[in-house]
Structures are given as structure tokens and as C-alpha cells.
Structure 1
Amino acid sequence: MKDEDAGLTARFAGQLGTFRLHAGFDAPGRGVTALFGPSGCGKTTILRAIAGLRRFEDGFLSVGGEIWQRPGLFLVPHRRPIGYVFQEASLFPHLTARGNLDYGRRRALRGGAREVFRFDEVVDLLGLAPLLDRAPATLSGGERQRVSVGRALLSQPRLLLMDEPLSALDRFAKDAILPYFERLRDTLALPILYVSHDIAEVERLADRLLLMRAGEITAEGPLAELQARPDLPLARLPEAAVTLAARVLDHDPLYGITRFTVSGATLLAPGAFGPPGTAHRVRIAASDVALVRDPPAATSILNMPPARILSAETGDGPAAGMTTIVLALGAEGEGARILARITRRSWDMLGLAPGQPIFAQIKGVALATVPPPEE
């Protein structure tokens, strides 16, 4: 019997010319697992192996408790219920958006697939109703990619693979389509593997993260945990940040400020972001966190939660004058971890040390999610 919530287990090893892949990981039965790393590290190769487009003799793949590959067994690509979204939306130019969507649906149902994703539901999820009667040539890049995702879903997949689906779009087009991808993550009960070079996309979409280098997975785990690990390259990036799950507590209409709760702290951000209980992600950049031993009597900075210093690491080379600090929010350090980046001189002058209580003066809290667009 298949366990629909069992998720995905993948193990692949083999040589492709001078490139060697030796990677294995598990992914949960729903949500977005992002593969992130430099070009040529093997991210797309893994997706192609999962789709059956690249065969490694030393391979194992299980999806939802059903084995698709092992020694002596290899399901060919057309027998794998997978939705694959590529960098470029390859729509049939002679069909309307509706025709492209219906093509994937009819083909899957003719093959005996159970209709889990229904036409009207997918159209609503991706905001496709205004596009249905238009030809692909009249659609923007973002609109074409949304139709491409819809067609993939209507093929009734057990797994959705997305290989840099936004790389061909400019920043404005990306910002327009990302809320729809967030809907997919929050709504669909299937695993999504997402390849991207853009850390901002990963911060907005990923639940779990696989860091790759030279054909191997160097670290895996929840996004916020890996962001806050100073031994990993994410914490060394100039734009290093931690993305935390947050919920709206309330909104002050007089000052236009919303209170959020995150693990270990309450944070304030300008703007209105939905009624109490609305889920969001907040992004706290390491460069936006200063440290003070005692809270000042008056300051324009809204957020200054108590925290504990967990560790500190001084950079090398051009970053030799900077220290990256891991903080745990809460007076006893019981909450979420965030990063702070200060000069080594400030660290020494304040007499800071791991284990010390501190106040994290957070200059800005940015929402990593935005409300879905109005249809």
C-alpha cells in the first residue's frame, strides 16, 4: 500500500564525464524543498534523475512509499507521475491557454490517473481565468509560466519538479508570480522540489533547504536553521539573513503598525498584513541587527527583543574586520535564531561573549511574503 504522506527518498551516485554525483536526501510529503548551490553543482541533474531522464545504475527513489527505482527496477519517465516545470514555459503555440491546460488533464486521465487536481481549482489557484481564451503569444513571460505550472498540475502528479522556473523573468515579473507559487506551497498536498540560484526566491518559498556543492549535498534541514549556521556559506553572504515563521497579533491603525509573534519575540513592522492569526514570513538581515548591552531610554528603532549570544565567528580576507554572531531570541535564549553582523572592534569594545544576555536592536523587519494578488 502506498503511503501518500511518506514523502520522497532519493539516492543517486554516478559519473557523467568529469562530473561525479553522490547525493541522497529525504523530503516531506508536502511543502517546498529547495536545492541551492553554485552552477554546475548537480541540482538539475538530480531533478532529471528523479524524472527518469537521467539513469544512474547506483540509484534509489521512493515517492509516497512507492519505489520508482532500485537495483533491478527503473520506471521509465512516462510511468512516473511527475509534473516538471522548466525555465522556459514550453506551451503549444496553436492552442489557447485553456487548450494547453486541458491537454495535460486529458492525457493524464486517459492514462488512468485519478483526478486529484481539478481544472477549476487549478485555474483559481493560479489566477488563470482571465487568460483562458488567449494564445500563448499574447501572454507575458510570467503568465506563460503560470499556465505551464497549471498544465503540470493537471497532469495529476505525485511530485512537482521546478527547475529555475523564474530565471527567465525580470524582477517585476518575478514579484508578480511569486505569490501564486506561495499559494502552491501552502495549498498542495504533494512534495515540490525547487531549484534556484536566487536566494530571495528560496527565502520566500522554501520550507526545507538542500545545499549542494560539487555533486554532493553538504547540508540539509529547515530553511531558518541552515540560514543561522555560521559554518555554512549562507551566513557568509553579504545579504545573509534568517527567515522566520510569524503570525499577526494585531494592527494599530493610528500608527499603521502591525505586531507579529515569532518564536521568542514580538516584532513590529509598518503596514497592515491581515487579521490576527494571519501567517507570514519575516526576514531579518544580519546587517540590520545591532547589539546593545542595556536598552536605551529612547530610540526610534521599534524592535529590541532580549536575546542570548550563542556563538561568534570573525571573517577572513576582506571580511576580517567583521564578526557574525548567532543569537537566540528570548531572555533565556529559548526562541528562534537570528544573525547579527558587527565590526570586530564593536565586539571587543562591548566585551561580548557567547552565553551573554543582550538586546538585539533590529533596524528593519521585512516581510518575505506578501498577500496574494486580487483577481
Structure 2
Amino acid sequence: MILDVDIYHRQGGFSLEVRFQSDGKLTALYGPSGSGKTTIVNAIGGLVQPDHARIVVQGRELVDTKTNIVVPKHKRRIGYVFQEGRLFPHLNVRHNLLFGRWFTPSGERKASFDHVVDLLGITHLLDRRPSTLSGGEKQRVAIGRALLADPQLLLMDEPLASLDEARKSEIYPYIERLRDEGGVPIVLVSHSVAEIARLATSVVVLSEGKVVASGPAAEVLRHTNYFAQSGLTEAGALIEAQVSGHNAAYDLTVLQARAGALSVPRLPHPIGTILRVRLRARDIILSLAPPHGLSALNVLPAFISSIGDAEGASMDVQLDCGGDPVVARVTRKSVEELGLKPGLPVHAIIKSIAFDPEALGVAGQENI
């Protein structure tokens, strides 16, 4: 088990009472402001001393208040990346990175400077000062500094929150590489469903200081009721697909999933690349018969596996598309008029423009 967390902590009028475990390469803590995300990572990192807690990272007890175990924060081997890079302005990138080395005894240093620099694509930045870097470049340097301290766990507290969409797009591939090749498990704090859908292998959903749900990202994200604070517009299914071809004439890319072939706006990935694809529940329309005369390019045959409880005017219809679990959010009126029920064959219709290119992330070796 990579992470085992059991915390009870009161701070003013706020009460945090959480317990979860994770074996994921990248565990996302998701929830609205004030739900307890930052308090959890601060407790793991040693910046907050909980009233009662047991925190275990890769089998090593960091905190157990019952037995009076509290490892000092400088001995926890935890890397921390904040919303802002917090680089030293008087040092160039190389010396900012090497600062991370000072926290690890020379005999225990395993991270290779050259490997970390290559992993994060910052070789060309080594002689520059932080004032000359973009927001995304600063965050990559901050991540590199944390990795060079040879942490057993990397905490990232909303590292993309201060970046615009262009800078987020710049840094996403590096976090994916870090997740898949860095060898250090990550805990990522986020309030963005799109972000965790692209990056997370495991998700812990928090609300008012309690765990609402936890588990593999693909399982948790299928339940739109966990994401009410996002307006139920972003949650949906995560499936794995391979780039099978590019259609230059129409500027499209064809992806092959177990559910079937999907045409999406042209992607820069070569044929054979494995991607994780987010199918938002709000973007799927159901039909009882094979549709004709539609502009939508993607029609997937499916069976209804279950129908959720009504939430206002809407209901979640869980689908089995060739073994890929997909969810459609439709009105109660549609469920009744179409006679939708478990076991019924249907067709899931998805517009090509429904695919957000920024949400199409490279899938790691770990199943989503």
C-alpha cells in the first residue's frame, strides 16, 4: 500500500475526519474549497500536526498519535510543490534544482540530476533566472527541485491553479511522464474534474471534511453525483483507446477502444499511442435504434447495465459498450418515454466536438 491515511483534526470551526488508502501512482484529492484537501497534504507533509492520526507512506509510519510517533517534517522524505513555484530569484535554474539535494544525505541520493532534467524537459533552462521563466516552466523547475530531494512521496497542492490554459497544456505531458516514469507516487490536490480525469489513477472525493468516495479514477468519475459542486457537467467515463489512424482530409484522428472506433479532432500523437479518453455524461445521447441522417460521427452500440436514482430532472444511465463502462446523463422524461431499463440494447451517440483535446491524456502502464 502506497498511502494509508486516517486523520481527525479540528481547526477553528472546521472538522476533518478522513480515512482512505491508495495504491495509485497519482492519487487526486478532489473537492471544493474548504473540503479539507490542503489540510490532508499538510498533515502528510508535516506542516500540520493533527489531533489524532495514523499516516503511513510506502510502509513507513510517519504519524501514529496512539503510539506517539511523529516523524519530523525534515525527515519524512516528502516532496512538496505549491501553487506557485517558490523558486529562489537570486539563483539560476541549475542551482534552484541542486538546492533539493541538500535535504538528502549524499549516501542516500538516488535521483539522477540529468534524468530529472530530461524527464521535465528543462535542460535548456538551466542557466536562466526564475524571472525569465513562464509559469509552466517555473512549476517544472519546482517539481524537479522536489524530486532531487529523493522523496518517497510527492505532494502537489493545486500546482496548475495559477496557470492559464496554454501553460496548463504545456505542463500536463510532463506530469504524465512523471506519473509513469518518475518512480515517485504523487498526491495531487485539485478542484478540476478535467484535470483529475486526465492525470489521476486514483481519486479521493472530499466534502466538508469527509471522504465521499475513493477508488480507481475510472470507477469514481462515472458517478456524477460525487461531483455536484462542478454542476454535473464534467463527470463521466474514462476509457482507454489507441490511435489507429489520422484522416488528413477532414483533420480528424481515429481512436480504437473496446467500445468501438471514435473520430476526434486531429491529435498530435503517433499511431499506436494509448490514450485515456474522457466521455462526459452530458455529451452522450441515447437512441433505441441505429441513428440515420445525423451529423454525429460516433455511434457506439451498448447495453444498459443500470439506471441511477433520479436527481431532479436527470438520471444517470450506466452503459456497457463492448466492455467499456460509459455513463449518459439523461432526463427522467426520456427514461420513461424510451422505456429504458437494465439489459436493453441502445446506441450511444457522441459528437466529435464533445472531445476536449486537453482532456485526452496519454495513458500510463497502470490501468485507469
Distance across 2 between alignment mates of 1:211 and 1:187: 26
Counterpart selection for 1:151 from 145, 155, 172: 145
- Percent identical: 43
Q: What is the match of residue 340 of structure 1? A: 328
Which of 65, 78, 83 is the matching residue for 1:82? Answer: 78
**1:3 match:** none
Moved over 6 A (4+): none
Q: Work out the CA distance in 2 between the residues paired with 1:170 and 1:256.
A: 26
- The change in CA–CA distance for 1:14 and 1:106 in structure 2 (over 3 A counts) is closer
1:329 is aligned to 2:317 = no
The match for 1:369 among 338, 360, 367 is 360
Alpha-carbon distance in 2 for matches of 1:250, 1:185:
26
Q: Deviations over 1:128-174 (max 9, x none)?
A: 11211111111122211111111001111110000011111122221
Verify: 1:213 aligned to 2:201, yes or no. no
2:2 paired residue among 4, 7, 10: 7
Separation in structure 2 between the aligned mates of residue 101 and residue 147 of structure 1, nearest angstrom? 7
Query: For residues 134 and 159 of structure 1, what CA distance do their matches in structure 2 show?
Result: 28
The 5 Å alignment of 1:285-304 reads: 285-304=280-299
The aligned amino acid for 2:141 is V
Distance 1:328 1:313 in 2: 18
| Contact kept in structure 1, 2:278 and 2:360, CA below 8 Å | no
Residue identity opposite 1:176 in structure 2: E
Give the count of matched residue pairs: 356
Counterpart for residue 138 of structure 1: 132
Unaligned runs of 5+ in 2: 363-368
For 1:123 and 1:25, the matched residues in 2 are separated by 33
Name the aligned partner's letter for residue 238 of structure 1: T
1:188-225 Cα deviation digits (max 9, x unpaired):
22210000122221111111110001111110011121
In 2, Cα distance between equivalents of 1:144 and 1:272: 26
Residue 50 (structure 1) aligned with residue 44 (structure 2): yes
Tell me how far 1:352 sits from its aligned partner.
1.9
Separation in 2, partners of 1:72, 1:362: 55
1:164 paired with 2:184, answer no
Output the TM-score relative to the length of structure 2: 0.89
Aligned partners of 1:140 and 1:366: how far apart in 2?
Answer: 24
| 1:232 match: secondary structure | helix
Cα–Cα, structure 1 residues 366 and 140, in superposed 2: closer, same or farther, change >3 Å? closer
How far apart, CA to CA, are the structure 2 residues paired with 1:296 and 1:86?
Answer: 49
Answer whether contact 2:89 2:131 (CA < 8 A) is retained: yes
Q: What is the CA deviation profile of residues 346-374 of structure 1, one whole-angstrom value per residue up to 9, with x for unaligned ones?
A: 33332222321111111234442357xxx
Stretch of structure 1 that moved more, 172-181 or 255-264: 255-264
Letter in 2 for 1:20: S
1:357 to 335, 340, 345: 345
Relative distance call for 1:230 and 1:165 in structure 2 (3 A) is closer
Q: Does 1:73 align with 2:69?
A: yes
Alpha carbons 1:91, 1:148 under 8 Å: kept:
yes
Please name the residue that 2:365 is paired with.
Answer: none
Show the counterpart of 1:26: 21
Q: Note closer, same or farther for the CA distance 1:69–1:307 as it changes in structure 2 (3 Å cut).
A: same
Aligned-partner SS, 1:305: strand
